[in-house]
Amino acid sequence: MDKQYWQSLEDYRETKTKSDFSKKAEPEFSIEGLDESEIKAKSSRRDFLKMLGFSVSAVALVSSCQMPVRKAIPLLNQPEELTPGVANYFASTFFDGTDYCSILVKTRENRPIKIEGNDMSKLTKGGTSSRVQASVLNLYDDARLKGPMKSGNATDWETADKEVIEKLTVLADEGKKVVLLTSTIISPSTTALIEEFTLANPNVEWVMYDAMSMSAIRNANDLNFGRPVIPSYSFDKAKVIVGFNADYLGNWLMPVTFSKQYSSSRKISGKNPKMSRSYQFESLMSLTGSNADYRFGIKPSEEAIVLLNLYNKIAESTGMSVYNAPKSPVDVTDVATDLLKNKGKSLVVSGTNELNIQLIVNAINNALGNYGTTLNISLPVNLKQGNEKAMEALVKDMNAGKVDGILIQNVNPAYDYSNASDFKTGLAKVDTKVSFADTMDETAQLCDYVLPDHNYLESWNDAEPIRGSYSIMQPTIRPIFNTRQFQDTMLKWMGNDGDFSDYMENNWKTMLADSTNFESDWNNIKHDGVYHAKVESDELSNFSAQSLKARTSKNVDIELVPYEKIGMGIGKYSNNPWLQEMPDPITTTTWDNYLAISPAYADDNNLKLEDIVEVNGIEMPVLVQPGQPVGTASVAVGYGRTSAGKAGDGRGFNAFGFKFGESITINKIAGKTYPLAMTQMHHDMEERPIVRETTFDQFKKDPKSGNELHTYDEKHNVTLYNKIKYDGLHWGMSIDLTSCTGCANCVIACQAENNVPVIGKEQVKNRRIMHWMRIDRYYSKDEANPEVFHMPVMCQHCDNAPCENVCPVAATNHSTEGLNQMAYNRCIGTRYCMNNCPYKVRRFNWFEFVNNNNFDYNMNSELGKLVLNPDVTVRQRGVVEKCSMCVQRIQEGKLTAKMQDRELREGDIKMACEQSCPTDAITFGNLLDENSAIKEDQDNPRMYHLLESLHTLPSTSYLTRVRNNES
Amino acid sequence: MYNTRVRGVLIKGNKSLKDVTQDVLRPMDAPMPRWWYVTAFLAISAMIWGVWGFYNTISTGIGTWGLNNNVAWGWAIINFVWWIGIGHAGTAFSIFLLILRQKWRTSINRAAEAMTIFAVMAAGLFPLIHMGRIWDGFFIFPYWNTRGPLWDNFNSPLFWDVVAISTYLTASFLFWYLGMIPDFATIRETTASKIKKKIYGVMSFGWLGNARSWLRFETAALLLGGLAAPLVVSVHSIVSMDFAVSVIPGWHTTIFPPYFVIGAIFSGFGMVLTLMIVLRKLYKFNDYVTDGHLEAIARILTFISLIMGSAYLIELFTAWYSGNEYELFTFLKNRVTGEYTFAYWSMLTCNAIIPQLFWFKKIRKNITMVFIISLFINIGMWFERYVIVVTSLSRDFLPATWATYEPTITEVAVFAGTIGLFVMGVISFFRWIPTIAISEVKSVLKETTTLKSFTDED
């Protein structure tokens, strides 16, 4: 090395460290422990070939293991009615003990995948509810019992039958009391069977139980007419409807039927403008209240007072006896005048289960002469036969040790009875406890034997929801598990070896005694699914007036109103993730219940959304609900299940312990919050022309009223580009905002049809809900009693779609039939289209929602995946999806027409959301067809496009919201 | 031509040509100082965290980010635009200052160009990671295929982005590399290490330094410079069209292309300032990057800041003048006032107001103040992108869909990772590449170094 000169000390040190770097020669690898041959060995040609063979086969083996082997076993003999790829529809009936609906079940390759409305029913007329739509998923619920159970262990039917029969025989011999506790049963055949059973076993007492009872109506009618019945209601015949805490569009009695009736009386057109008017007095913001023309918030304790005042006003002018009433908190003069103007064409209903109130309601309806027109006592409704008095007596008896056997069918009182702990202690004292529950629910867990019933889609049954209107339930799939229909079990225990379908047929033989050709009649009934018998309205005894009274309202802090949520009801479907994730039409909350308080109360007590309060020892989150009357709070039942299954357990809290109108104190728990997953956080329309509205009076003067902007926008929408020309087909949709009640049936129908994944509370909270169809809900005016607007929004299929021209890979594009379509395979997930969609209807697969344990819902279960529609792709993580305007249905309709060698006709194709809409708010069709209903809607002066000023040229249009009020 | 009395001294210290070579190359031979290792450690840690962010995003899904159905773009796009903006400095420096005959650029352009390369590389990661199906990302290239053939959507600004950014990266890299060839040859000639000699020999493409080489070199530099100049304008114009082409209020504005280009140059110069202050401090390059250099950048920033301020005002005016209620809402109720007030006013203060402090000579001369203000510009420009992306998306047309957006730890990790990549790139550049363009400095040495008159400031 050259001699180093250095100038500074730093320089010197620098060079020093450099030179200090000493290189030591080290062997490249250690050869210790290897013998010489190994070090020197070269691999021979044989070795090479061996290695090659091994590595190639190893690679092949490893890589082939990546793909899971899926076996598809073809049918050895193809069933006659089954064509792979072609759907079969079976008419059937949905009845779960509370709700009734006539349905069509769509099956593909012998498995039910979708529920549709049965338009041959004169009651539901092709409508369904969200619960009905979601019920198909219950068939594929992992929580279902796979076979009979004895004390929590699996057993077989022979053993179970033998043992139960033995025990029942002993009890019968000893004359000990056995109770058959069922839900309301509306099946004439099952009723006959149970009656036969109780006749054969006189020690058996039959008790029907409803978690939310309506016995007061029956009792009131017993007093007034001598008949303990619920009358059938005709909302369509009423010009003025006054509801008191009766959510007849959401939960009350027959919401699907009532929605159909209600909306049919409010379909308006320019030619024949007629519209009923609805008043709603309620103690919470209900779906019905949100749609009412006039809504009044009252406390539960004020209901009787308001009603009696209303009665007095009517009685004064009809010359009936007037009763003393405290002063009404609401001026009812206008309501009374309106009712009096429409005598015989009005309807007053109350959902409160109090005899006193129902007597006043009956008196008002009687004074108005509504019996025989809008109410019919002689065509009673068979729903809600449960009587809380009988249930109270049963619990008392059980606790007193007077009941030695209990058979529990389709009810879950250990969860939903108002005094569940009493029921449970009583049940513990019963010797023989048999449940027919199809899941290990709270009550079944306490039973010795659980003999699981079929799902309703696996069962034979019939139903008579209203006297003379029948509906048939028939199996659409062979039983998936080793379950047995409750009725078959009954027959077996009675020593009858036949099955229930024969029993039912025999029963129908007697019912159709005058039929000349029973075989064909019976087949027709099964085919149609419904049968409307000619029923004579029998003579009604005179109205026997009862004395009416109303106590002065309580002066308490807060009166509590327990209610059923539109999706969850009484919690029977708690384990149904579709319903859990369905945004509540009013609050848009998913997965939870909460205490809804009035904005005024929230301000006074410094409470806000997601704060936690304690009421009667239960901690619950708070939701500030506009329209919640001051002095009240409401809470949804149906939550807080402990034994529902993985989706339902631990959601919310159980509110069945609360009584209607119960006074409570709300204690804030400082510093604690609980997240609530809502799909909408901003509730004001910001004065934008989103939902365009008018009043009926203005509409009559000018059908364009409220929609003036449409003309302006049409005129000012200028473009340099040519309009797209369509050849023959241009699909379009129209949504009548006046009809739509926001019930969310379409949301679930769309989810079932289009394999929309469930993403769980946390992701909903992150605002990532996957629903292709959402219902926006806006409030306007006063926060104490706002006007509410529901607006279904899905892809608008714009002809000038902002999403289409920004996709870099052309994954979203326009079809020749006007559809904005998504090619999932092409999508790389830049999400530009989502940003550029002004309607924000595009959904991104943020995660893999299929076969992912983090999203342990139906798409993560082999069983749950059977509900998937084989016509619709299941989307991968990272792609954007949205409403396809049920393109698979369009294709199917076109193919059917082609096979039949005819032109496509109006009504051949129905969208999933449209088909089962209980208010017929949605119309779909070919915009180029001059005679179509959709074309008619296009030319309707009420028609407008959402955000039409953006010139997106949507194929979906809206009709203005018309309210029949004065403001 | 260059009058040092008017323009000041560019290279101080009366350097000889040899001094320049030695000064610039000294840090490359010296053992790496401790700060280098500390920075490298931090940068690599950030990169590892970033790799975790990437892994988490790719293996689990974009759901690991804070985005939602309504705000479908977030930090990834904000940071993408921010990095692209920073990536404007190098080329802007070299090209525009070359055209404007600003000789002082010679001491800075190399570092600025290096910054461009690493910033664009960091930016380029975002469109990749931000894709829902990154494994199908190649769909975005218009390649011949058997799928129809299925072509890209040439209407989509995202496709323009792909073209513009890849072109810009390529051109910037070539321009940068070309400038380094004579310097690599210098290293080759001066280094004692045989390995280095070999490596730099290859990297210098056998540069001979003869007249023909210089002639070719300068022609190539001029040509590339000419080609790259429009790219400076085009790349950020096109990035701005990601927003301007949409219908979203606050995005749908014709002012965006110039406004974005100016913003990009602003942020790029800001970052150059930050970086050069650090560089000259660490390597004692005060003679090359003089206070005069920093002041020149500060003056430019003052001017650009005025343009930024007027752009913000014009945006507000247009929103009001359009009479469009959505536009008005976005600007007046969601930015100036409302939920995103903080971000909006941070942007306005950092970009339009704080740089105006440069009007004061005292502040301009105070290196600490200059450094702090340059950081404010970097932050302000980040907020600008945040304001644009988030405020417009979170509250657009239908109030029912309004949603807020907050980044998650994964997004932060990805951003930190790109910062790590950038820093690592920059300090590797400090280490292995001459940070000042030796040949170019030498070319301006004589005329800009000494005062030829009788005044002896030096």
User: In chain A, which residues have their Cβ closer than 8 Å to the Cβ of B242?
Assistant: 832
Residue ranges of chain A that CATH labels 3.40.50.740: 148-213+385-451
**A-chain residue closest to B402, CA distance:** A682
C-beta separation of B216 from B238 below 8 A: no
C-beta separation of A673 from A620 below 8 A: no
**Treating both helix axes as pointing N-terminal to C-terminal, what angle do B211-244 and B75-86 enclose, rounded to 10 degrees?**
150
For residues A670-691, average pLDDT: 91
- What gap in Å lies between CA A223 and CA A363, rounded to an integer? 11
Cβ-in-10-Å burial (0-12, 13-18, 19+) of A516 comes to: exposed
Interface test with A, best of B73, B401, B402, B410 (most A CBs within 10 A): B401
C-beta separation of A346 from A374 below 8 A: yes
C-beta separation of A570 from A638 below 8 A: yes
Task: Tell me the C-alpha to C-alpha distance, in Å, between residue A447 and each of A64, A434, B351.
Answer: 49, 6, 73
Size of interface A-B (CB pairs under 8 A): 174
- Answer whether residue B89 is part of any domain: yes
Tokens of A425: 């202690």
**A-chain residue closest to B135, CA distance:** A828
pLDDT at B3: 59
For residues A476-485, average pLDDT: 90
Cβ-in-10-Å burial (0-12, 13-18, 19+) of A35 comes to: exposed
Task: Tell me the C-alpha to C-alpha distance, in Å, between residue B9 and each of A84, B6, B298, B358.
Answer: 87, 9, 17, 21
- Answer whether residue B457 is part of any domain: no
Q: Distance, in angstroms, between A651 CA and closest chain B CA?
A: 23
C-beta separation of A951 from A729 below 8 A: no
Number of other residues whose CB lies within 10 A of the CB of residue A276? 24
pLDDT reading at A244 higher than 90: yes
Distant-in-sequence, close-in-space partners of B132: CB < 8 Å, separation ≥ 6: A827, A828, A829, A830, A831, A844, A845, A877, A878, A879, A880, B61, B62
Q: Distance, in angstroms, between B32 CA and closest chain A CA?
A: 11
C-beta separation of A756 from A750 below 8 A: yes
Tokens of A595: 């205490």
From chain A residues 138-177, the ones with a CB under 8 A of any chain B CB are none
- Answer whether residue B202 is part of any domain: yes
- Helix or strand or coil: residue A194? helix
- Answer whether residue B312 is part of any domain: yes
- Answer whether residue B246 is part of any domain: yes
B325 in contact with A, Cβ within 8 Å? yes
Q: Tell me which fold the domain A79-137+457-481+498-535 belongs to.
A: Phosphorylase Kinase; domain 1 (3.30.200)
Highest mean pLDDT (candidates A5-19, A259-273, A931-945, B138-152): A931-945
Q: What is the DSSP string of A474-506?
A: --SS--SSS---HHHHHHHHTT--S-HHHHHHH
Looking at residue A606, the DSSP 8-state letter turns out to be T
Q: Distance, in angstroms, between A807 CA and closest chain B CA?
A: 6
The dihedral formed by the CA atoms of A633, A636, A642 and A644, expressed in degrees to the nearest 10: 180
- What gap in Å lies between CA A275 and CA A264, rounded to an integer? 9
- Residues in a beta bridge with A569: A565
Residue ranges of chain A that CATH labels 2.40.40.20: 558-678
Segment B366-386, tens digit of pLDDT = 889 999 999 999 999 999 999
Number of other residues whose CB lies within 10 A of the CB of residue A374? 28
ipTM score assigned to the predicted complex? 0.90
Q: How confident is the model at residue A27 (pLDDT cuts 50, 70, 90)?
A: very low
A848 in contact with B, Cβ within 8 Å? yes
A809 in contact with B, Cβ within 8 Å? yes
Residue ranges of chain A that CATH labels 3.40.228.10: 216-266+274-381
B401 in contact with A, Cβ within 8 Å? yes
Q: Tell me which fold the domain A216-266+274-381 belongs to.
A: Dimethylsulfoxide Reductase; domain 2 (3.40.228)
Whether B72 sits inside 8 A of A834 (CB atoms) is: yes
Distant-in-sequence, close-in-space partners of A586: CB < 8 Å, separation ≥ 6: A285, A286, A287, A290, A625, A777, A788
Interface test with A, best of B22, B397, B406 (most A CBs within 10 A): B397
What is the three-state SS of A303-323?
A: HHHHHHHHHHHHHHHHCCCCC
- What gap in Å lies between CA A595 and CA A560, rounded to an integer? 9
Tokens of A603: 């301000």
The continuous run of DSSP H or E covering A469 comes out as: strand A469-473
The continuous run of DSSP H or E covering A355 comes out as: helix A355-367
- What gap in Å lies between CA B440 and CA B181, rounded to an integer? 11
**Mean pLDDT of chain A, nearest integer:** 88
Residue ranges of chain A that CATH labels 3.30.70.20: 731-963
Whether B162 sits inside 8 A of A809 (CB atoms) is: no
**A-chain residue closest to B156, CA distance:** A806
A313 in contact with B, Cβ within 8 Å? no
For residues A51-74, average pLDDT: 69
Lowest mean pLDDT among A25-39, A339-353, A375-389, A702-716: A25-39
Q: How confident is the model at residue A565 (pLDDT cuts 50, 70, 90)?
A: very high
C-beta separation of A102 from A124 below 8 A: yes
Q: Distance, in angstroms, between B75 CA and closest chain A CA?
A: 14
User: In chain A, which residues have their Cβ closer than 8 Å to the Cβ of B130?
Assistant: 830-831
**Treating both helix axes as pointing N-terminal to C-terminal, what angle do B109-129 and B409-432 enclose, rounded to 10 degrees?**
150
- What gap in Å lies between CA A340 and CA A671, rounded to an integer? 54
Segment A100-159, tens digit of pLDDT = 999 999 998 888 999 999 989 999 999 999 999 999 999 999 999 999 999 888 899 999
CATH of A731-963, one of 3.40.50.450, 2.60.40.3080, 3.40.190.10, 3.30.70.20: 3.30.70.20
- What gap in Å lies between CA A203 and CA A226, rounded to an integer? 29
Residue ranges of chain A that CATH labels 3.30.200: 79-137+457-481+498-535
- Answer whether residue B458 is part of any domain: no
Looking at residue A935, the DSSP 8-state letter turns out to be H
Task: Tell me the C-alpha to C-alpha distance, in Å, between residue A771 and each of A106, A579, A748, A870, B67.
Answer: 21, 12, 8, 18, 17
B258 in contact with A, Cβ within 8 Å? no
For residues A850-864, average pLDDT: 91
Range(s) of the domain holding residue B347 = 4-449
User: In chain A, which residues have their Cβ closer than 8 Å to the Cβ of B246?
Assistant: 802, 806, 832, 835-836
The alpha-carbon radius of gyration of chain A (Å, integer) is: 33
C-beta separation of A290 from A742 below 8 A: yes
For residues A612-621, average pLDDT: 92
**Treating both helix axes as pointing N-terminal to C-terminal, what angle do B409-432 and B256-283 enclose, rounded to 10 degrees?**
50
Among residues A954, A862, A746, A783, which one has the least CA distance to residue A259?
A: A746
- CATH number, domain A148-213+385-451: 3.40.50.740
Q: Distance, in angstroms, between A82 CA and closest chain B CA?
A: 34
For residues A82-100, average pLDDT: 89
B278 in contact with A, Cβ within 8 Å? no
Q: How confident is the model at residue A15 (pLDDT cuts 50, 70, 90)?
A: low
For residues A202-215, average pLDDT: 90
Percent of chain A beyond pLDDT 90? 54
**B-chain residue closest to A764, CA distance:** B68
Q: Which of B72, B156, B246 sits opposite A808 (nearest CB)?
A: B156
Q: Distance, in angstroms, between A769 CA and closest chain B CA?
A: 8
From chain B residues 215-254, the ones with a CB under 8 A of any chain A CB are 242, 245-248
In the predicted model, residues of chain B with pLDDT beneath 70 are 1-9, 13, 99, 101, 446-458
Distant-in-sequence, close-in-space partners of A664: CB < 8 Å, separation ≥ 6: A557, A558, A559, A560, A615, A616, A633, A658
- Answer whether residue B456 is part of any domain: no
Q: How confident is the model at residue A748 (pLDDT cuts 50, 70, 90)?
A: very high
Could you tell me if residue B357 is left (phi over 0), alpha (psi between -120 and 50 degrees) or otherwise beta? alpha
- Residues in a beta bridge with A531: A470
- What gap in Å lies between CA B447 and CA B454, rounded to an integer? 15
Q: Residue B292 sits in a domain of what CATH number?
A: 1.20.1630.10
The continuous run of DSSP H or E covering A409 comes out as: strand A405-409
- Answer whether residue B454 is part of any domain: no
Whether B72 sits inside 8 A of A876 (CB atoms) is: no
From chain A residues 878-917, the ones with a CB under 8 A of any chain B CB are 878-880
User: In chain B, which residues have their Cβ closer than 8 Å to the Cβ of A769?
Assistant: 69
**A-chain residue closest to B76, CA distance:** A830
C-beta separation of A105 from A457 below 8 A: yes
- What gap in Å lies between CA B201 and CA A799, rounded to an integer? 61
- Helix or strand or coil: residue A677? strand
The continuous run of DSSP H or E covering A216 comes out as: helix A215-225
pLDDT reading at A31 higher than 50: no
Among residues A813, A803, A875, A887, which one has the least CA distance to residue A839?
A: A803
pLDDT reading at A22 higher than 50: no
Task: Tell me the C-alpha to C-alpha distance, in Å, between residue A618 and each of A31, A598, A667, A693.
Answer: 74, 19, 10, 42
**CA A531 distance to own-chain centroid:** 26
Segment A871-888, tens digit of pLDDT = 999 999 999 999 999 999
Highest mean pLDDT (candidates A36-45, A441-450, B424-433): A441-450
The alpha-carbon radius of gyration of chain B (Å, integer) is: 23
From chain A residues 711-770, the ones with a CB under 8 A of any chain B CB are 763, 766-769
Among residues B172, B42, B185, B190, which one has the least CA distance to residue B118?
A: B172
- What gap in Å lies between CA A126 and CA A123, rounded to an integer? 9
**A-chain residue closest to B141, CA distance:** A809
Domain count, chain B: 1
Tokens of A871: 């016509």
Distant-in-sequence, close-in-space partners of A538: CB < 8 Å, separation ≥ 6: A378
User: In chain A, which residues have their Cβ closer than 8 Å to the Cβ of B245?
Assistant: 805-806
Highest mean pLDDT (candidates A530-534, A787-791, B106-110, B215-219): A787-791
A122 in contact with B, Cβ within 8 Å? no
Q: How confident is the model at residue A280 (pLDDT cuts 50, 70, 90)?
A: very high
Better pLDDT: A812 or A719: A812
Domain spanning A558-678, CATH architecture: Beta Barrel (2.40)
Q: Which of B73, B396, B397 sits opposite A831 (nearest CB)?
A: B73
Among residues A553, A599, A617, A663, which one has the least CA distance to residue A328?
A: A553
Whether A828 sits inside 8 A of B67 (CB atoms) is: no
**CA B249 distance to own-chain centroid:** 28
User: In chain B, which residues have their Cβ closer than 8 Å to the Cβ of A807?
Assistant: 153, 156, 158
Q: How far apart are the first and last CA of chain B?
A: 21
